[in-house]
Amino acid sequence: MNAVALDAVLKHPGVWRRSASASHHVRAISTGLAELDAQLPGGGWPCGALSEILFAHDGLGELSLLMPALAELTRKGQRVVFVAPPYIPYAPALAAHGLDLRHVVQIDADAGDGAWSAEQCLRSGSCGAVLGWMQQADYTQLRRLQLAAESGDALAFLFRSARSADKTSPAALRLQLHADAGQVDLEILKCRALDMRRITRLRYRA
Amino acid sequence: MLWACLLFSDLRTADADGAATARRLHSLAAWAYRFSSQVSIAAPDALLIEVGASLSLFDGWPALQRRLRRELAAFGHAPAFAVAPVPAAARILALRHDGFFTDQREPMRIALGAMPIAQSGLAAGVITLLHNVGLRTLREVFALPRLELARRIGPAALGVLDRLRGENHETLELYRPPERFAHRIEFDHRIEAWPPLLFPLRRLCGELSLFLTARDGGVQRCELVLEHEDCAATRIPVELLTPQRDAHTLYELARGRLERASLAAPVSGLALVARDLPPLCPRHKDLFETRREQQLDWPQLAERLRAHLGDASVRQLAIVAEHRPERAWSFATGRKPAQELRPRPTWLLPRALPLRGPAPQILAGPERIESGWWDGDDARRDYYVVLTREGQRAWAYLPAGAHDGWMLHGWFA
């Protein structure tokens, strides 16, 4: 095998090298937070992968965290799907964050159908991002979502309780929000292709 | 123009009153419409199909004939075929020369000349008259001086002969495909659950798809009718966002609706009725499009989700120009009102809840929202952005002028 062929193999997205130099091969969409982008391989939310956001209480900014990326997707005409959200995604606020509401869709489904709907949307290849709130999702379901996100090349976001932080997960990225004296910190629990010796905790909301 | 005549001599003998034959011929015309846009029913037992325009599409007459014969054999028919430039001639030639083919007038006239007068389609009285004169074949009749012949047999019979030779143009009544689709399958047994209904449903969807392909249309709205023996039929509407005609897609969508329906009583028959048949505009696919297999367009995906979750479950969000927060959003495509610049939470609670715990820390506010005095749903509230003990950022309000009784209305999630 000559050097050129080897280089092509190493650049393949399926090949993970545990070194920072390989990180720019991860396709990603900017989170809108420069500090966070600097930490994540590819500089943002990984495309075609499942990202988990863990938080203890509503209102820590868990949804706002995605807004810049979602706004970017809708600007490019890609669809953003809320699957069975716990509250009403408030249209005026989404619009104020720059989302083009023509590309925002809400799907109402009960607990069992939620995972199915999310998987269908991810797999279809016609959705840019799919947001889900399946609290009861087990490892198998998460794995299915991760595979669906890969095959449909979509961004999958799963919002879960902080209690699942110590459970194993096939997600490419896991972030946890910590509320502390009125401030909110962001911790990177797991990230594929990231050198974990670097900083994993940063201030999100002062 | 090149006309193929399909003569179903077996059709007439099987049926006494002719009504069943007419129905059968009609359904055969619907089948033949897939091969040509000009199909005419030549009662009582023949179909005329203009094949001249279709020959290159179907790889020439030998290939088309083989295909027609094969498909008809599947229906249990073995008709005689004849192809000629004149429909009336093709009709006569099919009586005697199965498989006859010519696209030239001269060979057609020669073949016609050899036909006996008895099979010429002339009125019985005229045939007797010509026989009495001693004429046996059409060639002998064609050879007679025209004026003399007209005097003997009359203008009507002369017209028939002219049409045979193609000297007089014949106006055929062409078959038009029906405007609605309604097929029904009756069961021998009463069916109590939906799984056994899937097989007949698949067949009905296949038939609907064939029907739509022949019409070059799609279906946007159809109805599944479950017939019961003792009570009124259950009607399951199947509404689609865009016209469809692919058999598998239609089946998947109808199945989703059927699975969700509850059977009121055992089912004795299943029907599929489609009236709304708009023209179909298939999506143009890019030759170089890099879409992976099994991927769906958004309309197809939305259909699948709606079929599974219910018609109202997939909705788009929109803003409404309204001050009251609970009315400032909707599920519909709306116009784009002026953008809200003041802080608004990403989550809105469906109904405001009392905010428990000690008085929260106020981060921003108040913002007075006062509206709705004209429609009876009066709102006078002072909204604040507050911080709870757990560090949550909330959107809460106090009734105007009050200092207590916090109501939680949203989360800055």
Q: Using one digit for the tens of pLDDT, what is the confidence trace for B316-355?
A: 888 887 788 887 888 765 455 556 667 889 999 988 899 8
Contact across the interface for B391 and A101, Cβ inside 8 Å: no
Contact across the interface for A63 and B393, Cβ inside 8 Å: no
How many interface pairs between A and B have CB atoms less than 8 angstroms apart? 167
- Token duo for residue B267: 């089912």
Q: Which is nearest to B139 in space by CA: B108, B163, B103, B176?
A: B108
Q: Higher model confidence: residue B333 or residue A170? A: A170
Q: Using one digit for the tens of pLDDT, what is the confidence trace for A34-88?
A: 888 888 888 899 999 999 999 998 889 899 999 999 999 999 889 999 999 999 9
Half-sphere exposure of A5 (CA within 13 A, CB side): 2
| pTM for the structure as a whole | 0.58
Q: Give the whole-angstrom CA distance, residue B5 versus residue A135.
A: 68
Q: Which is nearest to B249 in space by CA: B184, B306, B290, B315?
A: B306
The DSSP line for chain A is: --HHHHHHHHHSTT---SSGGGGGGS-EE--S-HHHHHHSTTSSEETTEEEEEEESSTTSSTTGGGHHHHHHHHHTT--EEEES-SSEE-HHHHHHTT--GGGEEEE---HHHHHHHHHHHHHHS--SEEEE--TT--HHHHHHHHHHHHHHT-EEEEEEEGGGGGS----SEEEEEEEETTEEEEEEEEETT--TTS--EEEEE-
Domains contained in chain A, number: 1
For the segment A156-170, the average pLDDT, to the nearest whole number, is 91
Q: Give the whole-angstrom CA distance, residue A177 versus residue A33.
A: 14
Note the pLDDT of residue B339: 60
| From B348, B361, B391, residue closest to A179, measured CB to CB | B391
Query: Which positions in chain A touch B346 (Cβ < 8 Å)?
Result: 63-64, 67, 89-90, 93-94, 97
Q: Give the whole-angstrom CA distance, residue B163 versus residue B170.
A: 6
- Token duo for residue A33: 């937070």
Determine the distance in angstroms separating the CA of A55 from the nearest CA of chain B, rounded to an integer. Answer: 10
Q: Higher model confidence: residue A158 or residue B309? A: A158
Q: Residue B294 pLDDT > 70, yes or no?
A: no
Note the pLDDT of residue A154: 92
Contact across the interface for B412 and A102, Cβ inside 8 Å: no
| From A86, A107, A179, residue closest to B390, measured CB to CB | A179
Determine the distance in angstroms separating the CA of A139 from the nearest CA of chain B, rounded to an integer. Answer: 24
Determine the distance in angstroms separating the CA of B45 from the nearest CA of chain A, rounded to an integer. Answer: 51
Q: Higher model confidence: residue A13 or residue B152? A: B152
| From A79, A101, A151, residue closest to B318, measured CB to CB | A101
Q: Using one digit for the tens of pLDDT, what is the confidence trace for B370-407?
A: 877 777 777 888 899 998 888 889 999 988 888 888 99
Q: Please give the angle made by the CA atoms of B238, B313 and A105, to the nearest 5 degrees.
A: 120
* Position A17 confidence tier, pLDDT thresholds 50, 70, 90: low
Query: Which positions in chain A touch B316 (Cβ < 8 Å)?
Result: 101-102, 104-106
Q: Mean pLDDT, chain B, as a whole number?
A: 83
Of A105-119, B122-136, B167-181, which range is least confident? B167-181
CATH of the domain at A157: 3.40.50.300
Q: For B181-309, give the CATH class.
A: alpha beta
Query: Which positions in chain B touch A59 (Cβ < 8 Å)?
Result: 345, 347, 388, 392-394, 411-413
Contact across the interface for A87 and B348, Cβ inside 8 Å: yes
Contact across the interface for B318 and A92, Cβ inside 8 Å: no
- Predicted ipTM? 0.75
**Choosing among A58, A66, A80, A123, which should be mutated to test the B contact, i.e. which has the most B CBs within 10 A?**
A58
Q: Residue A21 pLDDT > 60, yes or no?
A: no
Q: Residue A132 pLDDT > 90, yes or no?
A: yes
Q: Residue B164 pLDDT > 70, yes or no?
A: yes
In this structure, are residues B113 and B92 in contact, taking their beta carbons and an 8 Å threshold? Answer: no
Phi, psi of A139 (to 5 degrees): -60, -40
Note the pLDDT of residue B291: 47
| From A58, A182, A184, residue closest to B347, measured CB to CB | A58
- Distances, alpha carbon B370 to alpha carbons B304, B329, B377, in Å: 42, 17, 11
Q: Residue B13 pLDDT > 80, yes or no?
A: no
> Domain map of chain B by residue range?
3-165, 181-309, 344-411
